[in-house]
Structure formats: C-alpha cells, structure tokens
Amino acid sequence: MYQETQQPTAGVLVKTAPQLPGSTGPTGDPELAQLWQKNYKTYEEMRLDATIAFARMLCVAPLVTTGWSYENKLHAPIGAKEMCEDTLEQFRMMIVKQALEGYVDFGWSGWEVVWSVNKSGFNVPQLVKHLLQPQTIILIDESTGEYQGLRQETGKDNNQVDLTVQESLRITIDVSGTNWYGRPLLENSRQAYLSGLTVDKAANQYDTKIAGSHWIIHYPIGTSPYGDSGVETDNYKIAKDMLAAITYSSGYVVPRRIATFIDDMNKQFGEDQWKIDLISDQGKGTTGFIERQKYLDALKVRGLGFPERAILEGQFGTKAEAETHANVALVNFELRHMILCQQINQQLTNQILSLNYGDEAIDSVIIVPIPLANVKQAFWKDLYARFLADPSILMQEYSMIDMAAFRANLDLPSAQLEDQLMDPLQPYYDQYEQYEQQPQMEQQLQV
C-alpha cells in the first residue's frame, strides 16, 4: 500500500535531508523547485491534441463517476462517519476531477481549504478552492523536505500569501523522494507529441510542393512560327503559354502548321523535341506520413497509461484481447484512486476528526474508493433484482436466460444436486404435519 508522511511524527527525529532529484544536502530554501515548470507551456498545448485530449478524458471520467464509501473503525466516535460523509461528499467530484487533471497536466494539484463552523457546531471545510499550478509554490521543511504548505504571489505588489498544512490540500500521484510536485503524466507523451508536430509539418510541405500532378513541357531551343500570323516566336514563350493553359485546365489551340513543323523536327533529330509529360506520385508518398502518425498516436496513448488497442481503432486483435487491455488500464485507475483517497484521508478527513473529536479520533473514519471492477457486477445485481420484482417478466425471460451463467456472474451459491431435486413445497408440508400432530402431542403430555 502506498504510504506518504505529511509531517514528521511527533517525538520522532528525521535524520535524512530532503530527497530531491538532482540535489544533495539541505535546500536552505523552503520553496520547492519545480523541475517540470519549463515544460508547462508545452503541456498546455498538448491538451489541444485530439488523441491526447481523448485519452486525458478517459483518465479522469471513470474515477469521477465512481464513488467513495466511508468506513468506521472500532474507536470511531458516534456520528463521525455521517459528519465526514456529509462534509466531504459535496466536494468529491470537484476534487477528484481537478486532482486527476492536475496529475495528468502538471503532476500535482493544490487547494486552499477554508474552515468554518456549520449549523451543527462542527468545524468543517466550507470551501476547497483550486489553485493554478503555474502560480503556486510548494513549501517544504528545509532540513527534512517534508510538506509544509503552499505559497502564492497575489495582487499588484506581488504580496506573498502562505497557506499552512491545515489551510491547504495537496495531492500528488507520482512522487519521487520528497519532490511533492510529482511527475506530470503528459511528460510520458511529450516527445511523441513534438515528433507528431514535425511529421505534420513535413506532410504539409509534401502536400504543397510534391503531392499531386505536375506538367512538364519539353521544347527545343530556338524559334517556331506561332499564332495565326505565323510570327517566329521563342519556343520558351510558346511552352510557357502552353503550360499556363494546361495549369488552369483550359484548352490550348495548336495550328496545324506548328504541328507539322514539330513532326518534321522530331523526325530530323530522332527524338521528340516537343513533348508533354504528366508526373504524379499517385499518393504513394503520403503512406509513410500516415503510418508514422498512427505510431505516434499509439505512443501518446501508451504514455497516458492505456494499451492502445483498448481505445484506438483495432486492426488485428480480438474483442477479448481489447477487453484484457482495458482491464490493465482499470488497474492503473484504481491505483491512482487509492493514492488520491489516502491523501485526502491524511489531509482532510483526519483534520475534521481531530478538530471535532480530538486527536484520538484520527484514522477512525476513512474514505475507501469503490472499485471500478464492481460496476459490471452491480449492473447484473440490479438487473437480477428487477427480474425478481416482476414475476411475469421473470417467467417470460426465464426460458431465454442461461440461469447458471447468470448466477455465476453474481457469485451466488448454488444448491447441491439433491437440493435441486427436492420439492420446493416440502418445507410447507413438514410444517403442516407438525401442526396436525400438535394436539396428539398435547394429549400425551397431559396423560
């Protein structure tokens, strides 16, 4: 299980320095350097790429639409679970969506948590305000690298606003050491995106300069009679006029005298002195660009955690194979959801419990993500319940349903063979016999 320590445990001395990639020893600065900030502009542009935008939505939507369950521990105060659920459920969809989008785009997300006393007298978050990553800085402990809050520069005078651990929420999925900015998921696809731009630029140049058909007119050096009057005209000018007429798909008139002159010249020199060729690539050059872009699209999708066959156009695989690849993506989703919920438990749920019930209530209520794998089973169970609710529909569909497979999908216990052969009314017969025998038993007891 993923484990993250927000602050050094009370009474425990942390001996090691901040664990930051590319640095050694204490930082001497509470502001944590953003290693990937130099690529933020590229990440924002990548979100407009159609393939990346599609895969990005698939990274977010499944976990936003699923839910959380709230579980009590043995030492949970009475009503704590209901209070935490009422408080956090109103922020669930927003936090999950913004956290996952922040992880994909920048590697992390930060919020300002505004606390207030509600009508029931509980101290709970009234507002969870999302902060823009390029404008927000993570603060750390200079000696240990532990998370200490967030900082923003706001206003005309660039005044600094610092948020403590209690006033902030920070969620990072992919953490390296104590670099709480994490690693953007888009970084995995950045090189494929840039290569795609290069391929697209080359394809545009090809379409402009090479693709299509090109006319070539061969002409002899010298002059030829030209026009209705037969004036001697440079062959170059005649060729240019002919090319212009062909280019604009119009007709061109060649006097018979010129045609006879051309035939005589061709016979004299043993080869065509005047000749018109049409050169066309027949679209063969575009094949390489298309295949290259398909390969780069597959890399973009892989970089975001999807086997490409699960979401892109299938060519050779089977439906079962595509479903297997989709299940691999689901495992990634559920892992991210578990990490996200654990950090919310540490930073928000425990704060709510501590402020309202004392430190002894910490970890007594936890958020547990509902597994995505249960969605399909939940559908089968709901359908089964609907069938049972209407006997007429059940009897109508019974002959068309493989009940053994139906029960197997629900993991329902199956009766043994001798139980299946038993008359379903036998229990009622047994009760009736006991009822008939009851007066005789009472008379025997009186005697």
Give residue 225's pLDDT. Answer: 78
For residue 217, the number of C-alpha atoms closer than 13 Å in the C-beta half-sphere is 16
What is the maximal distance between C-alpha atoms in the chain? Answer: 149
Give residue 250's pLDDT. Answer: 47
Give residue 291's pLDDT. Answer: 86
Distance CA 344, CA 173 (A): 12
Question: Which residues have a Cβ under 8 Å from the Cβ of 287 and sit 6 or more positions away?
Answer: none
Give residue 443's pLDDT. Answer: 54
Closest CA to 32 of 131, 141, 111, 134: 141
Distance CA 160, CA 152 (A): 6
Give residue 233's pLDDT. Answer: 83
Say which residue the tokens 């029931």 belong to: 120
End-to-end CA separation in angstroms for the chain: 71
Point out the residues of the chain with pLDDT beneath 50.
1-8, 10-11, 250-253, 256, 316-322, 325, 417-418, 445, 447
For residue 287, the number of C-alpha atoms closer than 13 Å in the C-beta half-sphere is 5
Distance CA 97, CA 11 (A): 37
Give residue 10's pLDDT. Answer: 46
Instruction: Supply the pTM of this predicted model.
Output: 0.66
- The C-alpha torsion from 14 through 15 and 20 to 22, rounded to 10°, is 180
Give residue 79's pLDDT. Answer: 93
Give residue 8's pLDDT. Answer: 46
Distance CA 366, CA 68 (A): 10
Question: Which residues have a Cβ under 8 Å from the Cβ of 143 and sit 6 or more positions away?
Answer: 14, 17, 18, 26
Give residue 321's pLDDT. Answer: 47
Q: At what angle do helices 286-303 and 50-65 cross, to 10 degrees?
A: 30
Distance CA 32, CA 16 (A): 17
Give residue 375's pLDDT. Answer: 53
Closest CA to 102 of 179, 30, 170, 177: 170
Residue 439 has which token pair?
A: 């007066």
Say which residue the tokens 């800085």 belong to: 137
